[in-house]
Chains A and B, each alone.
Chain A
């Protein structure tokens, strides 16, 4: 699957993040390759969100470094991260439900006839691009003027992913994309992720709680617990119970059963 497995598209080296006396991340190293889905798993409070926020430029790490295509980068703002090719699709998707698909697709980066906030929008071109980009990863929308609020959760997810890719994301961070969806729409999102994976030039970091989804779609796994990596490997390396055990923070299923036996 991995097109150029030798060189990671994005790599973190020994990331440490401290909030005062609290250590959120304690030396996390991660390698993500293009054309791969890298599942980031862990219990609540394992440090997944902190890692994501560092990668997307919300705050800088206390120590350690991030390298994109081998070059060390540092982000002062989310905008820097976007420019460096890291697109983050948050759980709330950053969409305005009251306006149209196209207006959301180009939100903040509208195509205008001349460069000014008062430049007229190139509505026709924007409609076309939005439809085309969404079709590329699998959803045909009938009307680009459709309000986002009337779309299904899966369609919204696709819109947000298509938007991130169109605006230059080489690394796509998906923050629990299936958590708030019904069964059928979860599958739709997984299909979308699969199509992005097949594009071959994009690395996907998938944060999820759902072991089944991770196993269905991920090529590589990293398990976090209490701010540290407690296990990693490709889908072939990890068999059956390993995933379940590592997701629970390293506990054996037998231990858990014992814990429950009051």
Chain B
């Protein structure tokens, strides 16, 4: 035994990791590559035909409005993908997410529209046995936070129930939550139809409409709480009244901004009119050149060179305009509704318009007011999940529950609790998604969230979550959501192909990611 082999230890067989080796061993590296590719594609293809630019922000994909809309889709998907992804890391599935979104949205909307009542049926024997109802609680005017909390009671309970059934029965979560998928969707439709029932109808619609725009309710002195649009539509003399109450500095500031906007609008109009005026001349020039009439062509060239139109004069700022602009800046009197359905980063987007001159549309107006609030919610959730999964005891429990259930149990990890908590978290994420939707559009529909459970799972898989559990990161999940959200937009802009090719692309990416993930898992398990 005393030979050269002795000086060689088992540890020597593991090569020291190189810098790039560490980076390329990370499970997110493939997805990040695909994401960057899609960024590039969307930036490149969304630049209008005939123009050329290396700047990806020049096109429609990443102008202010494009960013706003893309980030909304991505963050909403991130929210549910986090719930689905963490559950997959722990070795279970939730197929009820989509139906849970529909259910939570309908529940919230119904509570906001009609209030909340607990009715207990009982059998009465007075005058023959029949069923009577007793109303325990009836609250007709519920605040947004109340509606969300009541909805959470239902959804979190359902999440707990699914988890409880899975861990106690040992049934595959696939089948239990598939039951949840049908059950919740059906329950949502049934409840919406019965609540929407009108005297002249046999059955109601499966939507809830006519909810006030809660996030835009503002406090206006002299008018109390009023919807922003209603306040802006007040008669001229009322608006002047609001104007008179404003401090001078606010008036000066708003007037300056309005002057800037009106000037931009006027400039844009001038440009549009100029190009419209020149166009017939250019066409005539082309004809003249084609027919070889050089004299005519020269005359037209002169005309084009000297062509000018009277610049459009900017609108002057009236007192009512300032009052309306002021009403736009008043912060919501319903911060919770605004937190879920409102906008964020408005000052930044204002700065982009007024100071940077980037956030401007073709008509000179401000393009996007801000980002959807769900971007912030997704960020908060992702950050929290990242810390929990990678830096806490709970995270180690989640990994071990999915990685080797028996080992986790043998070491005293409460694996059943871990799983049930993650089922509840998945339901929580679906409810948050629904809250963002309901408070943004002020309607609910039983069809909301259809197929979202599969999108969430797909995003998680694309982001490097291994389907058998125990492996994956939060960064990966978010990257997966980015890929999913960007693909649709990017393929829409590719000239000459059907936009639905994005599904073909995603299908390939999903299978490729799953193969890659499995390969990484096997490499770590030491089986290849």
Contacts and interface: CB of A to CB of B under 8 A. Distances in A.
Contacts of A78: 410
A99 B396 contact: yes
A143 B393 CA distance: 21
A150 B392 contact: no
Interface string B1-19: 0000000011101101100
A235 interface: no
Interface stretch (B92-100, B161-169, B320-328, B520-528): B520-528
Contacts of B396: 99, 103, 106-107, 110, 121
B403 A99 contact: yes
B399 interface: yes
Q: How large is the interface on A (under 10, 10 to 19, 20 to 34, 35 or more residues)?
A: 35 or more
Interface in A60-88: 78-79, 82
Contacts of A211: none
B408 A155 contact: no
Nearest to B410: A94
A82 B412 CA distance: 10
B353 interface: no
Given A108-B411, A150-B526, A152-B10, A120 B403 contact: no
A95 B407 contact: yes
B173 interface: no
Contacts of A210: none
B391 A121 contact: yes
Contact of B403 (A96, A108, A146): A96
A178 to B, nearest CB: 16
Nearest to A150: B526
Contact of A118 (B13, B392, B413, B470): B392
A112 interface: yes
A98 B14 contact: no
A103 B399 contact: yes
Contacts of A93: 407
Contacts of B406: 92, 94
Nearest to B387: A120
A78 B393 CA distance: 21
Contacts of B13: 152
Nearest to A102: B396
A79 B414 CA distance: 12
Contacts, number: 105
B407 to A, nearest CB: 4
B525 A149 contact: yes
Given A107-B400, A141-B11, A150-B14, A79 B412 contact: yes
A98 B468 CA distance: 11
A103 B388 CA distance: 14
B394 interface: yes
B399 A98 contact: yes
Contacts of A118: 388, 392-394
B399 A154 contact: no
Contact of B393 (A96, A98, A110): A110
A157 B392 CA distance: 26
B484 interface: no
A98 B395 CA distance: 13
Interface string A88-124: 0010111111110001001111101000111111010
Contacts of B403: 96-99
A140 interface: yes
Contacts of A139: 10-11
Contact of A90 (B10, B400, B410): B410
B471 A98 contact: yes
Given A119-B393, A149-B525, A150-B526, A96 B410 contact: no
B14 A142 contact: yes
Given A94-B407, A117-B394, A155-B10, 9 more contacts: A103-B399, A108-B408, A112-B392, A121-B391, A123-B391, A139-B11, A149-B524, A149-B525, A151-B526
Interface of B: 9-11, 13-14, 16-17, 387-388, 391-397, 399-400, 403-404, 406-408, 410-413, 470-471, 521, 524-526
> When A and B form their complex, which 3 residue pairs have the shortest distance between CB atoms, in order from nearest?
A108-B411, A96-B403, A94-B410
23 contacts: A90-B410, A94-B407, A96-B399, A96-B404, A98-B403, A98-B404, A98-B521, A99-B396, A99-B399, A103-B399, A107-B396, A107-B400, A108-B408, A112-B393, A117-B392, A117-B397, A118-B394, A119-B392, A120-B387, A143-B17, A147-B524, A150-B526, A152-B10
